[in-house]
Chains A and B, each alone.
Chain A
Amino acid sequence: MAIPSDFVEDTAEDGAVTLYFSGDLSIASVGDLPERLREYGSNVERLDISDTGYIDTVGAWLIHRTARDMEAEIVGANDDAERLIAAVAGADQPAEIRPQALNPVIRVVSEVGEATAIAFSTMSGLVGFFGAIIVAFFRLVRHPGQIRWNAVIQRFDVVGVRALGIVGLMSFLIGLVIAQQGAVQLRQFGAEVFTVNLVGRLTLRELGVLMTAIMVAGRSGSAFAAQIGTMKLTEEIDAMRTIGVSPIEALVLPRFIAAVFMLPLLGFYASIVAIIGGGLLSWAQLDIPPATFFSRIREVVPLTDVYVGLVKAPVFGAIIAITGCYQGMQVKGNAEDVGQRTTAAVVQAIFLVIVLDAFFAVFFTWIGWN
């Protein structure tokens, strides 16, 4: 075990104070010596380390620093100690542990400014990216032979077919909850029967597509960003460009097409499953038999509600694909960036989907589809 370091003071006849050190001078043995030496005055002439054992750079630093602060002289150093003290003395330069903290007011203002600038540049970037997709799309329309059907079909599978389970389960539960909560509230007015209207209209018009969009944003939007971001990191995308393959055509368009086509299908499917869930609950709680429930649905839900859902869905799909692929293409530098971009893709997709949903609500009411 390392021998703890210690020191004793000794005053010579002429009044000069010498500190005699003993024990090992190492990281394991210095203990509380740094504090004790700092609190010790500064009227010391000499530090005598001739009686010390093993020394490492921490011990050497302690001696060097003490000598520096007390303006004392180091005596009795053996070769090891001398070499190490010289080494740490050479490394004795003022440095900071953390970057200089800014004034809080300036920091808040600058962060708000930076966030605003980033928000605007992201918006313009998304619009520009959408433009690039449109250009690539029309190029492919003129040269249909170049469409990568394999990639498109594969994306259909990943974005659409494989989402059926989770979207179905989620929608079923949402249907159940709407019916249950609706029934409880409407019963107060003796209007339980309107639960059917609530479930049918709400899911087909709003929730089916909206919840599906949120689920797809979390499931596929994040995957788009992570996949493309990783390919960006491994320089696959640069390699593609060099070979003359457009990453927009090869990577982004298949995902865009898949999301635009799959979201209406998934959204409609989600609405139907939610209605089934609501129907089951109505049967169990309100004694409305399924046949009656579904014929009521056909009576109370106008066809325009289905159109509303189906019009919104491809737009939401496009937004999810654009934010996911755009953020993926923005990845630079390191793996950490992939994580941040993936998060950003999902957050932006969900945010934009909900904002647009609000606009759609106003718009459809305005054209009389209510």
Chain B
Amino acid sequence: MSSADAAGDRKDVRVPALAPDCDLTRLDLSPQEGFLLSRIDGHTPKDLLSQLAGLPPHDVDLCLARWAEAGVVVWSKAGPPATERVNGASATRAGAPPRLEANASSPEGESAAAATEAGSPAVASDLPALDPGLDIPEEAQQAILDFHERLERPYAEILGVASDADARAVKRAYFQLSKEFHPDRWFRRDIGPFKEPLERIFRKVVEAYELMSDPTVRAEMERSLGADAEAAPVEGADSADPKAASERAERRRKRALSPFSPLGRLIAKRKAKAKSFFEAAMAAVSDERWLEAAASLRLAVAYDPKSALYRERFGEVQAQAHEIRFAQLMKEADSALSFRDRKDALRIYEEALIFRPYDPEANHVAAKLAWLAADDLHRAKEYAMRAVEADPDKAEYHRGLGQIYAAAGLKANARRELKTALRLDPRDLEAKQALKSL
């Protein structure tokens, strides 16, 4: 995301953020959409969101546009159009205002490459500016800022060792970095806003150390890394050559997804998890334990959203599971009604509607129960309308809606619905009577 490749393939670096004080519960979202929404943190730019959520960029665009319209999401000031240049690291270094910008695309200058392509937009956003008033020397502050920018690099680079370094070298590097970046170094000192980035650095160093000294992880990394294992070339020199720039972009992409990088490592881990859930689900399917299978598949999809296979099977199994649950609940509701427990029946119907929101009969009955058992005409109207919407040719449903309108005192609406009911079924006595009493 450096300015270098902004010239070649222009990336969308706009940053969506959640609107403050916005009630998210009123949105009706699919789990995938919910997941996408949950990834919006005000720092992560749009194109990275699509990667994180595992959704095609087009879908992400659509969702974001919809949410922006609904006022849930706002585009943060950070980096509207990708071409706009904002303060880069070099500016901050001179003591400029704090960097709020999420993904500073640094202008030319010596620090361009180092500062931007490594600095993860997700975490680089809240870095503080140097502050001589703090109880920590400015050189140490600068060291924290500099190191923080490298946190998204491959683990070996974070530790400053070769990717094939032995356990002893890895440990030495870890100890050395701990001496510098363990929070205890500044125990009881006022290090102000540097506390959070410092802890982040130390946690990342521990993570790098743990993974690089785990022999099974190392073996896996080396297997899948193959030919890319060469150390990444230093870059940032000749941004004029577009071909070189696009090659660099490709290398960078590969590196970001390589098992050495935190992101690549994360994806590999999630994929393995997804697979184990998928296997559990398939076992459940063969035993016709549909509810269990659906739950496992849902997790498989959540962990590996890109797998078409998981999605497809999830769709099928979930439909099956929902049918089963719906049928179970209908039975329960019948039994509740046979005991004349209408309140309980309403509760069960409402639960059933979670699984088949547009079932006309269930909505129709739920409407009646909401009206008669809970005295909630508003809710009753919602259900009755949905029944009518789902099956507009059924006189009974129009009559039901009409009766609820009548009870609510909305006479014009009531007449319209009752008349429709009579048009569909001229022998509907109940509708006739209701119309008469209006």
Query: Does A pair with B?
Result: no
